[in-house]
Amino acid sequence: MLSESARQRIDQEVAKYPPEQKQSAVIAALSIVQQEQGWVSPEAQQAVADHLGMPPIAVHEVVTFYNMFNTRPVGRFKLNVCTNLPCALSGGGTAAQYLSEKLGVALGETTPDGVFTLQESECLGACGDAPALLVNDRRLCSFMRAERLDALVDELRAEAAKGGTQ
């Protein structure tokens, strides 16, 4: 379930901690698995647990606590729209609804072409820039009202057509 390359990378992370604290590398290990496989399947969670000597339920708790881990396959671009209170008061819900209608998918769904997955997100730490949105857990986008959402979707569609990711 873990590739040789993933094992090597995880072991590099494990080496940063004392031997009896291998579990401290769990987030790094899960990130490596997700980078490689696109999501963290139950089998991958088990493999990480075995590799780090952790109870599988402890790994599962980490996977389900952090929004960045995908518990099922996602599209090429995962759009996490913040709908927590500060964003909600400044158009977060409206942004999520706008994207839902524009992409033709409900929150939590992936477009049939596999390009976009739309999700609600917890606070992204950018409350003053609401509505805030995160692309693929890395690119933070601010003030995402209709015009900027249109531009972002166009940009990402063009990127997908070229075969790239962000």
Alpha carbon distance 5, 127 (integer Å): 38
Among 30, 33, 63, 82, binds ligand FES (CB under 6 A): 82
CB of 80 to ligand FES, least distance (A): 10
**Judged by CB, which is closer to ligand FES: 28, or 127?**
127
Q: In terms of DSSP bridges, do strands 139-141 and 133-135 run parallel, antiparallel, or are they unpaired?
A: antiparallel
38 versus 86: smaller Cβ distance to ligand FES: 86
CB of 86 to ligand FES, least distance (A): 4
Q: Which of 132, 134, 141, 156 binds ligand FES (CB under 6 A)?
A: 132
Work out which of 126, 135, 144, 156 binds ligand FES, going by CB under 6 A.
126
Q: Which residues bind ligand FES (CB under 6 A)?
A: 82, 84, 86-87, 123-127, 130, 132
